[in-house]
Amino acid sequence: MSTSVVVGAGRGIGQAIGEDLARACPGDRLVLADIDADLVERVAATLRVQGVEAVARHVDVTDEKSVQDLVAETAEADKVAIAAGIFDSSPTLDVTAADFERILRVNTIGCFDVARRYAAGMAASGSGSIVAVASVAARMPRMRQAAYAASKAALRQSLRVLALEVAGSGVRVNTVSPGPTDTEMMRQLASDHASVDDLADGSLLAFRPRIPAGRVARGSDVAAVVRFLLSAESSHVLLGDIVVDGGELLGM
């Protein structure tokens, strides 16, 4: 039996990844972890009603002991998706060092810590796949997102280095970079638009290009790509970063 772990599975893209894996691999053990224990338990409970072997666990990616405990409990995991993250939007001239550090602590250092600890166990067993959720903000400057963009760019590059070092041990590490996606976090971002869906139209004021596909992503769009990267079908894909943005970056 395969074991999949989704970190940050309580809401948004992480929840979509967990639900997608449950549908695609109903016989596998699924561990859903999140800093909000009650929230992720509700997600797991819904899946259990559907016959999925889903368990919920608390994890705080900024707490090394918390991460160590989760990794030790799920040492057999061969597929790990990391979708934990926080977002803040404020004018760059107003961002404090504390603001910057808080976002880096979760989005970069915390997520990297999860990835490297699982990678160590997978390397010892000779196989495994890890996928983390980055962002197109790692490539394209976003107004009022200096800390967030930096955190995702740093995560993407640090995981590439990790991927290089563990590839010879049969471990694959990749990232997926969503564009605007209809999640609670994205609704916080859409303050310069009437709705999340209106982000597809772009904004000259926000220096945001139009999305050629004509819509923002759904969590399921991102989850499908994560599932592919975790699966054996992507066995020759590593150090990759698959963009799921409806063409917003124009393929750059």
Coil vs helix vs strand at 53: strand
Half-sphere exposure (CA, 13 Å, Cβ side) for 176? 28
For residues 197-212, give the mean pLDDT. Answer: 74
pLDDT surpasses 80 at 84: yes
Q: What is the mean pLDDT of residues 241-248?
A: 96
Residue type for position 226: V
Known catalytic residue: 148? yes
Q: Look at strands 53-58 and 171-178 and give their pairing.
A: unpaired
Catalytic residue among 148, 172, 189, 244: 148
pLDDT in tens, 90-106: 999 999 999 999 999 99
For the chain, what is the mean pLDDT?
A: 93
Label the pairing between strands 171-178 and 241-244. parallel
pLDDT of 198 higher than 80:
no
Domains of the chain: 3-244 (3.40.50.720)
Instruction: Look at residue 200 and tell me whether its pLDDT is greater than 80.
Output: no
Residues 6+ apart with CB under 8 A from 235: 172
Cα separation, 183 vs 181, whole angstroms: 6
